[in-house]
C-alpha cells in the first residue's frame, strides 16, 4: 500500500470520527441541559474516571494506550468547555 492509499484510509476514518464526535456532542448538549436543570456541576470527576477506565480496558494495542487516553481526556475537557459556554448563553 502506498502513502496516498494510506492517507485515503485516514481520511475515511477521520470522517467516521467526525460523525461520532458530532453524535457525542449532541448527547453532551442534552446532558448539559439536565445537569443545569438539576443543579449539578459540569465536572463529574468520578464519571470521567469511569470513562477513562472503560477506554483503557478497550484499547487492544498497549503502545497506543497513552495517546488514546490523552485524546479522551481532551474530548472530555472540550465537552466541559462547551457546557460552560452553553450555560452562559
Domains in the chain: boundaries:
3-88
Answer yes or no: pTM beyond 0.75: yes
89 vs 75, residue with greater confidence: 75
CA distances from 14 to 4, 17, 21, 85 (A): 15, 5, 10, 26
Please tell me the predicted confidence (pLDDT) of residue 82.
96
pLDDT digits (tens, 9 = 90+) for 16-65: 999 999 999 999 999 999 999 999 999 999 999 999 999 999 999 999 99
CA distance 77 to 75: 6
The mean per-residue pLDDT over the stretch 10-21 comes to 98
* The three grid cell numbers given for residue 62, joined into one nine-digit string: 498497549
- Contact by Cβ (8 Å): 72, 58: no
CA distance 55 to 57: 5
Residue 77 pLDDT exceeds 80:
yes
- Please state which of the four CATH numbers 3.90.25.10, 2.60.40.10, 1.20.59.10, 3.10.310.10 is assigned to the domain occupying 3-88: 1.20.59.10
Question: What does the chain come to in residues?
Answer: 89
Amino acid at each position: 500500500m502506498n502513502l496516498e492509499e494510506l492517507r485515503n484510509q485516514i481520511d475515511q476514518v477521520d470522517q467516521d470520527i467526525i460523525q461520532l464526535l458530532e453524535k457525542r456532542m449532541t448527547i453532551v448538549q442534552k446532558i448539559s441541559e439536565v445537569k443545569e436543570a438539576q443543579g449539578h456541576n459540569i465536572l463529574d470527576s468520578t464519571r470521567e474516571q469511569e470513562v477513562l477506565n472503560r477506554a483503557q480496558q478497550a484499547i487492544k494495542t498497549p503502545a497506543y494506550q497513552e495517546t488514546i487516553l490523552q485524546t479522551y481526556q481532551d474530548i472530555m475537557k472540550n465537552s466541559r468547555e462547551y457546557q460552560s459556554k452553553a450555560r452562559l448563553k
